[in-house]
Amino acid sequence: MYKLQEISDRLEIQDLLMSYCEAIDTREWKLLNEIFTDNAIIDFTEAGGIKGNLKEIKLYLEKALKPFLSMQHMMGLPKIEVDGLTAQSKTMLFNPMVIERNKSPHTFFVGLWYFDKLVKISGSWKIAARYESLSYFHNVPEDFVPISS
């Protein structure tokens, strides 16, 4: 049976993970400062992105996501393991992405897993490391080339 503190930690971590989706989909890059530690390492290489620190990732995301008309990061329920002031989570992600092709919207889909290491600092959870594992791409236009740096 979960203790009250672990229930609270799990809910706070779920909110944090969802806040990431909201920050990305609304392109509010500064919100990522509230989600990741200052020295976080984030690895998007499996899906064609970069690996870097928070500052590098924010610059990369701003550039790489610019061509998209819209996107929607939809997470499944995370598997969370809390151990005091640290935690790990594994979260499934389904991500429709819309780009313009031949003057009309074209939607393709990305399936991912996020593997996160989290820390509780001054009473708040933050992601200290994220590894994005690619599951699939579907309906990606043949001429689409993701920005990798």
Domain boundaries, the chain: 4-138
Cβ neighbourhood burial of 107 (10 Å; 0-12, 13-18, 19+): middle
pTM above 0.85, yes or no: yes
**Which CATH number, 3.40.50.10800, 3.10.450.50, 3.40.50.720, 3.40.640.10, labels domain 4-138?**
3.10.450.50
pLDDT tens-digit map of 4-28 = 999 999 999 999 999 999 999 999 9
Count Cβ atoms below 10 Å from residue 13 Cβ, excluding itself. 23
pLDDT tens-digit map of 97-112 = 999 998 999 999 999 9
Which alpha helices (H) appear in 65-135, and where do they start and end? none
**Sign of the Cα pseudo-torsion (135, 107, 71, 147, in order):** positive
